[in-house]
Amino acid sequence: MKKVIVTTANKISSKNLETLKKSLVKKYGKELEYDLRLDPSVIGGIKIVVGSRSIDMTVKGQLSQISKQVVTKI
Amino acid sequence: MPTKKNSSKKLDNSAFDLKGLFKDVSSSIAVESVGEVISYSDGVVKASGLSEVQSGEIVEIAGTKIGLALNLNEDSVGIVVMGDPMGISVGDIVSRTGRILSVGVGESIIGRVVNSLGEIIDGKGPISIEKYMPLEKMAPGVMTRKSVSVPLQTGIKAVDAMIPVGRGQRELIIGDRSTGKTAVALGTILNQKQEDVICVYVVTGQKRAAVAQTMKILEDHGAMDYSIIVSATASDSAAEQFLSPYTGLAIAEYFLEKGRDVLIIYDDLSKHAQAYREVSLLLRRPSGREAYPGDVFYLHSRLLERACRLNEDNGGGSITALPIIETQANDVSAYIPTNVISITDGQIYLEADLFNSGMKPAINVGLSVSRVGSAAQLKSMKQVAGTMKLDLAQFRELQAFAQFSSDLDERTKKTLDRGVRVNAVLRQGWDQPLNVAEQVAVIFAAVNGYLDTVQEEKVGQWEKAYLDYIHTVGQSLLDDILKEKKLTDPIIERLKDVVSTFNGLHKELMMVEEDNK
């Protein structure tokens, strides 16, 4: 049973959740256990952690990438 | 504290362009291989996940801390935290960076002080990185190497005459505490001023005050113009201490690839082995003799094997390594000392007894050896130093009889007198290196009997005055010794002339005639 952790800022709509589950099943197979988490600090977007792979599409993640790039320039 | 006026000035300054900073910045979907911290203790993090992590890879903990993945187990990864381990909690995300441990190096690193991660710690601004050198690397193969034939002048008479070191050799400096090991190493660095050799001085486990002092000494003598200090002091984490020699070596290899000659000094490998033992025990690796892990030999052998001389096809550069080992109570047969002795091409053995009796540098010439030997010696030095070792060996045998010198036969007395003076000539201030021509001149005088008439206690004075004299009167002679590379008959004649003239001019240093005859 692969564990999937889905983190969003606000509750994900059931329509979006179904679309997400469909694509995840396509990639990782049927045996998936979902853990839906709410974390306002990510501001927006979605973060999916499957096993040891993390796909970060949150606003917080993007902001930290940008800040890292700017800091190295200074 | 900047004044208000200053800070507004800074914002107006076109060099600080806010808009420009954000230009060319992009963000993308980050797909990373991650894990989670399961447990943490004593600088070692155990993480789950990270199924694709590589051994020796740098990982990021909670986005800000750096760790090194060292133990890859079936269902967890043992990560050693580099730097400050405070603030790590269970559940923190650990992500791969894809980078194997490496250090950024450029020409501008010369004269700087860095830590094990390659970060600047002398506060003098960043270096421009030209290349990332990996810390772990296979040693150069057999066919890329060339045998050692060019001398590395340490500036120390005892070493350059009887235990010569060549470029590309590994020569161990071994002795008890406070016998002058670091002094020998620093003296060698000071002597590289005119020699186009880059020096890397790696400090492992020492006090920060000592590193600051060393840096000041090197600066005062102008040695920082060609040296780099890699520092992992006693309060740095065990992982940083264990990596510091590899960082220094990676920096040295950058210059080696460019065909330069590099001298690297590891001060010291005993503390390095202890730091590695600490890391291994915390990672729960099985321990062996003296609680050191099973691969402590490999720890040092892979480090020292990368010191080499490359042939012309591979750039012709060299790395000479001078590792330092501290023994306890002169025990060279302990675990780590025997390991390193078997890896290096010889050792310089320093003794506390010699040090305390005033012989500085306290080198025991009898027990010290250089396996490269005279292949790495200037021919002129070989000519004068050839008999020196023999004279000293005979002297040591007869030393016990020195107290009865008035009751001995002429021959024995002569050997003793000669030996005492040759021995005295080997004394040297650690920060007073001599170039090879000066050494040849002094040793020539000693082994050819020109010191026999000088009073015992005045040999040091004699040497100083003689060198001053030869620089004023015989500078061309010194230049010729360097140029000719070997002592031709005319040069020998000129040397004899200079010494006899000098002796004639300085009667106050000579023994009173009645005592002698």
Domain boundaries, chain A: 2-73
How far A7 CA lies from chain B's nearest CA (Å)? 14
Chain A residue with CA closest to B75: the answer is: A52
pLDDT for B10-67, tens place per residue?
A: 455 555 677 776 777 777 777 778 888 999 988 899 999 888 899 999 999 987 888 9
Q: How far is CA B364 from CA B349, B387, B399, in A?
A: 6, 17, 14
Are residues A54 and B22, on separate chains, in Cβ contact within 8 Å?
Answer: no
Residue in B with minimal Cα distance to A72: B21
**Ranges B13-17, B405-409, B428-432: which has the least confidence:** B13-17
Say yes or no for a CB contact (<8 Å) between A55 and B31: yes
Cα angle, residue B147 at apex, residues B142 and B149 outer, rounded to 5°? 165
Question: Residue B105 and residue B253: Cα distance in Å, rounded?
Answer: 10
Nearest chain B CA: its distance from A30 CA (Å): 20
Q: Which residue of B has its CA nearest to A69?
A: B25
The span from the CA of B371 to the CA of B348, in Å, is 11
CA B153 to CA B160: how far, in whole Å? 6
Here the tokens at position B73 are 């187990």
- Tell me the chain B residues in contact with residue A54 when contact means C-beta distances shorter than 8 Å: 30-34, 93, 95
Are the CB atoms for B354 and B362 separated by under 8 Å?
A: yes
Give the span between the Cα atoms of B43 and B45, in whole angstroms: 7
Candidates B371, B396, B411, B494; catalytic one: B371
Q: What is the pLDDT of residues B74-130, one digit of tens each?
A: 889 999 998 777 889 998 889 898 889 999 999 999 999 999 999 999 888 888 899
Whether B516 shows a pLDDT value over 60: the answer reads no
Neighboring chain A residues of B94 at a CB cutoff of 8 Å: none
What is the least distance, in Å, from the CA of B26 to any CA of chain A?
7
Residue from A52, A57, A60, A73 to probe the interface with B (highest B Cβ count within 10 Å) = A52
Bridge partners, residue B285, by sequence: none
Neighbours of B278 (CB within 10 A): 18
Mean pLDDT of chain B: 89
Residue A48 Cα, gap to closest chain B Cα (Å): 10
Residue B418 a catalytic site member: no
Chain position carrying tokens 């500036």 = B155
Q: Where are the beta strands (DSSP E) in chain A?
A: 2-8, 32-38, 45-50, 53-58
pLDDT digit string, tens, across residues A13-38: 889 889 988 888 888 887 888 888 88
pLDDT in tens, B160-186: 999 999 999 999 999 999 999 999 999
Q: Do B27 and A66 touch (CB under 8 A)?
A: yes
Q: Is the ipTM of this complex over 0.90?
A: no
Contact state of A65 with B30 under an 8 Å Cβ cutoff: yes
Lowest mean pLDDT, pick from B162-166, B287-291, B405-409:
B405-409
Residue B517 pLDDT level (bands cut at 50, 70, 90): very low
Alpha carbon of B348 to those of A45, B199, B272, B324, B370: distances in Å?
Answer: 65, 19, 19, 10, 8
Beta bridge partners of B369: B347
Determine, for residues A52 and B33 on separate chains, whether the beta-carbon distance falls below 8 Å: yes
Residue B221 has pLDDT above 80, yes or no: yes
Distance from CA of B31 to the nearest CA of A (A): 5
Distance (Å, rounded) from C-alpha B58 to C-alpha B44? 14
What pLDDT was estimated at residue B12? 52
Nearest CA in chain B to A74: B21
Residue contact B27–A51, C-beta within 8 A: no
Grade residue A49 by pLDDT with cuts at 50, 70 and 90.
confident
Q: Which residues of B touch A58 (CB under 8 A)?
A: none
B50·A53 Cβ contact <8 A: no
Interface of A with B (CB under 8 A): 49, 51-57, 61-66, 69-70, 73-74
Residue B5 above 50 pLDDT?
no
The residues, any chain, with a CB within 8 Å of residue B263's CB and separated by 6 or more, are B152, B188, B189, B192, B197, B198, B199, B200, B319, B320, B322
Q: Do A56 and B29 count as a contact with CB atoms less than 8 A apart? A: yes
